[in-house]
């Protein structure tokens, strides 16, 4: 791993306390994501995939352990420092777009730059360019409610990349989309990963999406490992009526 890039997780533990009980999500978990890699993390519901992604993104803090981005252990950062780090280093894509309904697509994409203190004119120009890149050049002045689900997710991708992050973290980025729209978003993610020189970590139940990535790891019983060839055999599948042969979703 290059000294200035990639992600390294060492002895990561996350324990929740509920009443008098302790819930151990994972203990002493380790992970390396190489610079430029596209990594998929799969696993059954409740395995802790989203928790891991929140920890990687600095949205939650571990009970113990360290998370290194290059030479920076983000666990040691204070809250304000961590917020600044997230704004500079990490782009987020969630299953639910979470766009601000009172703002246009352009304004939603601009928001991270405005929070950073970038002048509105500069932020608008950069947001317009990213909307063009994701295929929404003509939709910038539309409110989120006026956009389709696929268009909303494209706006989210543009918003995630507006700060020129080094890392993209995505939690079920196609989970709310029909098969054909999900396919277009998967293709776009691959294109953006390459064109923006990203290191990407995706949590997904979409087997087709996972298999397109450089590497797949399964989170099971608190550990990450390379899944067996028939790793999906014990999972419950949903079918997608928009695809002739059905979907491939766990």
**Which domains are present in the chain?**
7-225 (3.40.50.300)
Quick one: pLDDT at residue 241?
39
Find the helix or strand (DSSP H, E) in which 237 lies: none
Tens of pLDDT along the chain (250 residues) come to 344 568 999 999 999 988 888 999 999 999 999 999 999 999 988 889 999 999 999 999 999 999 999 899 999 999 999 999 998 899 999 888 889 999 999 999 999 999 889 999 999 999 999 999 999 999 999 999 999 999 999 999 999 999 999 999 999 998 888 888 989 999 999 999 999 999 999 999 888 889 999 999 999 988 899 987 665 555 544 444 334 444 433 3
Token digits for 141? 């002045």
The model's pTM: 0.87
Distance, CA of 1 to CA of 52 (rounded, Å): 20
Residue by residue, DSSP assigns 169-235 as EEESTTTTS-HHHHHHHHHHHHHHHHHTT-EEEEE-SBHHHHHHSSEEEEEETTEEEPPPTTTTTTS
Tokens of 214: 């450089």
Tokens found for residue 231: 């790793």
**Measured on CA atoms in the order 4, 9, 11, 13, is the torsion positive or negative?**
positive
- Cα distances (angstroms) measured from residue 176 to each of 49, 132, 152, 181: 17, 23, 11, 10
Q: Are 44 and 229 in contact (CB under 8 A)?
A: no
């Amino acid at each position: 791993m290059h000294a200035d890039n990639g992600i390294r997780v060492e002895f990561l533990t996350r324990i929740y306390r509920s009443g008098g009980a302790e819930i151990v999500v994972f203990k002493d978990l380790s992970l390396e994501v190489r610079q430029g890699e596209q990594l998929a993390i799969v696993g059954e519901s409740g395995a802790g995939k989203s928790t891991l992604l929140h920890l990687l993104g600095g949205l939650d803090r571990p009970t113990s352990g360290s998370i290194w981005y290059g030479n920076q252990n983000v666990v040691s950062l204070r809250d304000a420092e961590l917020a600044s780090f997230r704004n500079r280093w990490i782009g987020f894509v969630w299953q639910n777009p979470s766009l601000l309904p009172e703002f246009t697509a352009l304004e939603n994409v601009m928001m991270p730059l405005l929070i950073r203190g970038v002048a509105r004119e500069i932020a608008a120009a950069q947001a317009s360019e990213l909307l063009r890149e994701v295929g929404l050049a003509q939709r910038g002045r539309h409110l989120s409610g006026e956009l389709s689900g696929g268009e909303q997710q494209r706006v989210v991708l543009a918003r995630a990349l507006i700060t020129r992050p080094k890392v993209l973290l995505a939690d079920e980025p196609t989970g709310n989309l029909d098969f054909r729209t999900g396919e277009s978003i998967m293709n776009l993610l691959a294109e953006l990963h390459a064109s923006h020189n990203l290191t990407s970590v995706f949590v997904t139940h979409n087997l087709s999406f996972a298999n397109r990535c450089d590497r797949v790891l399964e989170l099971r019983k608190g550990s990450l490992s390379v899944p067996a060839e028939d790793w999906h055999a014990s999972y419950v599948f949903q079918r997608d009526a928009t695809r002739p042969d059905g979907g491939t979703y766990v």
